[in-house]
Amino acid sequence: MKVARWVREETVGKGLSPGNHLKHQAGQDSISTSLAVYFMSQESRPARRVGKASRRAKGDRMRIPRGKVRGMRIAISEREVLTRRAGYRETGMSGSGRDGWKRVARHLASRLLRVTHGLKHRIKYARLIQRPASSPRAAGADAQGSRYVVQLALEGKPHHKPKHSIGTGTVGGDLGPSTLALVPQEGEASLQVFCAELAPDAKAIRRLQRQMERQRRAANPEQYDEKGRIKKQGNKKLQWKHSKRYQATRRRKATKERKLAAHRKSLHGRKVHEVVALGSTIIIEKISYKAWQKLFGKSVGLRAPGMFVDLLRRTVASTGGTLVEVPTRTTALSQWCHGCGKKVKKPLSQRWHLCACGIGPVQRDLYSAFLAAYLDPANPTPSCARYQRYWEGAEARLRAAHERTTQRAKEGQALPRSFGIPRAGARLPKSPGEPTLEPALLLRRGRLEAWKERSEPPLL
């Protein structure tokens, strides 16, 4: 079988664990595929059309599952290797198999370090992946608006960029639906909005959803009753007609969602590397993110904290660190006080820890991250004696982190309620003098004073 779509090569150096192969192979075990491979930079254009389709059923969109293809032969043809920085010039490299990969690796050694690192490792298998495009007229898309790529899964660990440093020590973290508190054993503590740069165009998405609903109703009037409700037909599945305009609107909405997901993934990766730069051992609480979906569905759907933890787990493992997830039932970091050793359950509205023993007031998320930072990974049970010698130095760092957060709120940054900072009062300027008046008010006050001076009788 040959791929009859636009093919773009992607080299992915992923560490493969046992059982990482996908379950659905769709009869690809006996397939032997030969592809002309083009190496491109991130700013490159789509490659040429490769091959022809074989035995495609009518109406089949050629959905290619992500699966292992045994016996795949990757051949380096005598065509040019396209790279943006090389100016799309012909290289004249030929060969197949391992020798071809070595020639390509030498050619790209000074240009694409990530690709060069991947080509030094053994190829585990190749995935043929179908990805939706914005429209059929998009670059590299077929008539149905899809792109097809070849993704190589290689043996070993992914390439580590020099700009991403790896820290030493232990870091405690407290992850919320919209917040992230980090307290390392040595260094500054921080309390930040999780994925603060993520700003979805909710108004445009709602408009597209309403448009799709109108188009669906116009194309399927028989599916609705006189009150506009969908007719129930028991266990029978409803057959919906989708017009071309409806499909175009659906693609526009999918494009916005896809861009939002790509932005979220980029922010997750950036934040993960910031956490790894603080320490090699990260301790967080093991949380049920499905329960969060029921309580904080909108925030979890936007920021995806579970995906962030999965990416953090993989990145920490690839850099030689450790991610420790302690159970919440035994630790109860948000309820426990290291001064008296008592557990007091706090409501979600209470964002400050203040105990009668003298501990506090301290922001709740920062205090939980502090308790996590000094837990023993072998025995994650909080102990009063363990925290006494660290609290004096950590208290000042926690207060400094909260002061920086308060300063951001005064500057106008919108912060969630879980920070414990009043929204309106945090943005009011605290000045002992009189408030400054607008120019129009100053002019009016000046005119009134002049009129009073003229109306008063002269002094004798």
Residue 238 or 448, more confident: 238
Per-residue model confidence as pLDDT tens digits over 197-209: 998 999 999 999 9
Whether 31 and 136 share a structural domain: yes
Phi, psi dihedral angles at 184 (to 5 degrees): -80, 160
Q: Which two tokens stand for residue 148?
A: 């097809």
Q: Are residues 145 and 176 in the same domain?
A: no
Per-residue pLDDT tens digits for 269-299: 999 999 999 999 999 999 999 999 999 999 9
Model pLDDT, residue 24: 30
pLDDT score, position 134:
77
Question: Which of 128-142, 211-225, 313-327, 363-377 comes out lowest in average pLDDT?
Answer: 128-142
Same domain, 39 and 64: yes
Say whether pLDDT at 405 is over 50. yes
pLDDT at 418 over 70: yes
Task: Output the DSSP codes for 163-206.
Answer: TS----SEEEEEE-SSEEEEEESSS--EEEETTTT----HHHHH
CB 337 within 8 A of CB 387: no
Q: What is the pLDDT of residue 275?
A: 96
| Residue 160 domain flag | no
d(CA 258, CA 264): 10
In a domain, 410, yes or no: yes
Give the whole-angstrom CA distance, residue 384 versus residue 405.
28
What pLDDT score was predicted for residue 101? 56
pTM score: 0.70
The predicted pLDDT at position 447 comes to 59
**If you average pLDDT over residues 79-101, what whole number do you get?**
40
pLDDT at 388 over 80: yes
Give yes or no: residues 189 and 125 share one domain: no
Averaged pLDDT for residues 9-19: 33
Same domain, 107 and 182: no
Alpha-carbon distance of 290 to 300, in angstroms, equals: 9
pLDDT exceeds 80 at position 403: yes
What are 150-175's pLDDT values in tens digits? 887 888 888 888 889 999 999 999 99
| Cβ-proximal residues to 154 (8 Å cutoff; 6+ apart), any chain | 11, 12, 13, 14, 118, 121, 122, 123, 124
In 26-122, where do the E strands start and end? Answer: 34-36, 73-76, 95-96
80 plus 183 within the same structural domain: no
Q: Residue 110's pLDDT is what?
A: 46
User: Is there a domain that residue 313 lies in?
Assistant: yes
What average pLDDT does range 33-52 have in this prediction? 33
Position 446 pLDDT exceeds 90: no
Same domain, 290 and 371: yes
Number of structural domains in the chain: 2
Shared-domain flag, residues 90 and 177: no
> Per-residue pLDDT averaged across 29-34, rounded?
28
Query: Do 26 and 135 sit in the same domain of this protein?
Result: yes
185 and 37 together in one domain: no
Domain boundaries, position 40: 7-154
Whether residue 259 lies inside any domain: the answer is no
Same domain? 71 vs 129: yes
Mean pLDDT, rounded, for 55-72: 42
Q: Is residue 274 situated within a structural domain?
A: no
Q: How high is the pLDDT of residue 197? A: 92
pLDDT tier for residue 69 given thresholds of 50, 70 and 90 = very low
Which whole number is the average pLDDT over 396-411?
91
Are 365 and 182 in contact by the 8 Å Cβ rule? The answer is no
3-state SS assignment for residue 210: helix
In the predicted model, is pLDDT for residue 68 greater than 80? no
pLDDT, tens digit, for every residue of 204-242? 999 999 999 999 999 999 999 999 999 988 888 899 999
Helix extents (H) in 279-410 = 289-295, 297-303, 305-318, 328-331, 364-373, 384-410
Axis-axis angle for helices 244-278, 305-318 (nearest 10): 50
Higher pLDDT, 149 or 276: 276
If asked whether residues 120 and 183 sit together in one domain, one would say no
For residue 38, the model assigns a pLDDT of 32
CB neighbours of 98 closer than 8 A, spacing ≥ 6?
A: none
447 sits in which H/E element = helix 439-455
In a domain, 222, yes or no: no
Residue 118 token pair: 């991947």
Among 65-79, 178-192, 324-338, 441-455, where is mean pLDDT lowest? 65-79
Please check the confidence at residue 83 and state whether its pLDDT lies above 70.
no
What does the mean pLDDT of the chain come to?
74
Q: Which pLDDT value is given to residue 358? A: 86
Which pairs from 41-49 meet CB under 8 Å and 24+ separation? 41/83, 41/84, 41/85, 41/111, 41/112, 43/84, 44/82, 44/83, 44/84, 45/139, 46/6, 46/8, 46/139, 46/140, 46/147, 47/6, 47/7, 47/8, 47/9, 47/82, 49/5, 49/6
CB of 20 closer than 8 Å to CB of 60: no
**pLDDT tens profile 91-116:** 334 444 555 556 655 655 545 777 77
- Asked if residue 272 is part of any domain, the answer here is no
For residue 243, is it within any domain? no
Q: How many other C-beta atoms are found inside a 10 Å radius of the C-beta of residue 285? A: 22
Q: With pLDDT > 90 as the criterion, what percentage of the chain qualifies?
A: 38
